[in-house]
């Protein structure tokens, strides 16, 4: 568990004058589920593309299982199963043919090929739909087939790039459960998402990226400790105005204030001490409170604390 399976050292990727990944350093241990969290455009997908040998590295080095991605990309690719963010399926070919095609490209043949294709389809719960075209599948079923096409060769490292985008909660839970099972079967997992709850639910360790930088990395406990000195107050209310938010932001002992729809989130050193001031400001601006709760800080809190923005901004 302590051996670095993926080692990223001082990696830089530029697109013209824009830096997509800026001096990224990361060690991912063998057998862990590693969450890569960050808003859209944070550089997660670029980092993944470089790890998978799909994109050239401008500076630095990446090794997977001790093999340099720069020097031997095809050897690295044999060890990786990549679940792309976008569905990458041949919609006019049966589900089993999709998996078989990619399995053949990973060198599987004969009886083993047949067994692994059946196993992968069974794993994602599509064994009964093997002969059907993906064009007839629901979004969740397509997502699951997308995963089957990446795991049939039993890769040592599975990289999942936003695998739950745009699907129903039931399929999402199925996928998250699959990730845990794959990890128990021995694969190291890198799971990227901008859904904090998903990453928090399955990851052993988490790295948070923003604007090409890694701004935090560690276990969830370690990350929470970085913001544990703060408490989070969540106010649900109506008639929230710009004026009330501005005045709350001016309060010297309120660290962060954000609002969306009919919710105001505040981070304070002590909720007991500051609550009276907060209620007074709200009353002054005729905000009608519906509920008020004090919560423990989470990864969202950490991101907000570090960047001043919410993950979904």
Binding site for other proteins (CB under 8 A): 52-54, 74-75, 77-78, 80, 82, 84, 86-93, 97, 101-102, 104-107, 149-150
Nearer to other proteins, 133 or 201 (CB): 133
To other proteins, the closest distance from the beta carbon of 164 in angstroms equals: 17
To other proteins, the closest distance from the beta carbon of 53 in angstroms equals: 8
Residue 138 is inside which H or E element, if any? none
To other proteins, the closest distance from the beta carbon of 101 in angstroms equals: 5
Nearer to other proteins, 107 or 308 (CB): 107
How many Cβ atoms are within 10 Å of 131's Cβ, its own excluded?
A: 9
Cα–Cα distance between 309 and 81 in angstroms, integer? 33
HEC letters along 252-309: CCEEEEEEECCEEEEEECCHHHHHHHHHHHHHHCCCEEEEEEEECCCHHHHHHHHHCC
Cα–Cα distance between 20 and 219 in angstroms, integer? 25
Nearer to other proteins, 55 or 263 (CB): 55
Supply the DSSP symbol for 54: S
To other proteins, the closest distance from the beta carbon of 89 in angstroms equals: 7
Check: CB of residue 294 under 8 Å from CB of residue 260: no
Nearer to other proteins, 15 or 280 (CB): 15
Nearer to other proteins, 145 or 311 (CB): 145
Check: CB of residue 6 under 8 Å from CB of residue 28: yes
The pairing of beta strand 33-37 with beta strand 205-210: parallel
To other proteins, the closest distance from the beta carbon of 93 in angstroms equals: 6
């Amino acid at each position: 568990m302590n051996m670095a399976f993926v080692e990223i050292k001082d990696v830089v990727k530029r697109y013209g004058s824009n830096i997509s990944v800026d001096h990224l350093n990361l060690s991912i241990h063998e057998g862990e589920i590693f969450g890569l969290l960050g808003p859209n455009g944070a550089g997660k997908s670029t980092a993944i593309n470089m790890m998978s040998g799909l994109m050239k590295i401008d500076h630095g080095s990446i090794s997977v299982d001790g093999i340099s991605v720069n020097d031997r990309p095809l050897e690295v690719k044999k060890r990786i199963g990549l679940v792309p963010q976008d569905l990458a399926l041949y919609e006019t070919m049966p589900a089993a043919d999709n998996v078989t095609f990619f399995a053949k490209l990973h060198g599987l043949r004969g009886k083993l090929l047949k067994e692994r294709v059946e196993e992968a389809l069974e794993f994602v719960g599509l064994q009964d739909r093997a002969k059907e075209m993906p064009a007839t599948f629901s979004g969740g079923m397509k997502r699951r087939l997308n995963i089957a096409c990446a795991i049939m060769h039993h890769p040592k490292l599975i990289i999942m790039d936003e695998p739950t985008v745009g699907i129903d909660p039931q399929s999402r839970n199925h996928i998250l459960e699959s990730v845990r099972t794959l990890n128990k079967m021995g694969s190291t997992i890198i799971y990227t998402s901008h859904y904090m709850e998903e990453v928090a639910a399955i990851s052993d360790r988490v790295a948070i990226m923003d604007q090409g930088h890694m701004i935090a990395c560690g276990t969830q406990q370690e990350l929470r400790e970085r913001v544990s000195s703060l408490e989070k107050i969540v106010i649900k209310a109506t008639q929230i105005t710009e004026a009330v938010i501005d005045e709350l932001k001016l309060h010297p002992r309120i660290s962060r204030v954000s609002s969306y729809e009919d919710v105001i989130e505040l981070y304070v050193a002590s909720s007991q001490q500051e609550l009276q001031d907060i209620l007074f400001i709200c009353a002054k601006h005729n905000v009608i409170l519906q509920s008020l709760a004090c919560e423990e800080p989470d990864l969202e809190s950490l991101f907000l604390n570090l960047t001043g923005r919410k993950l979904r901004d």
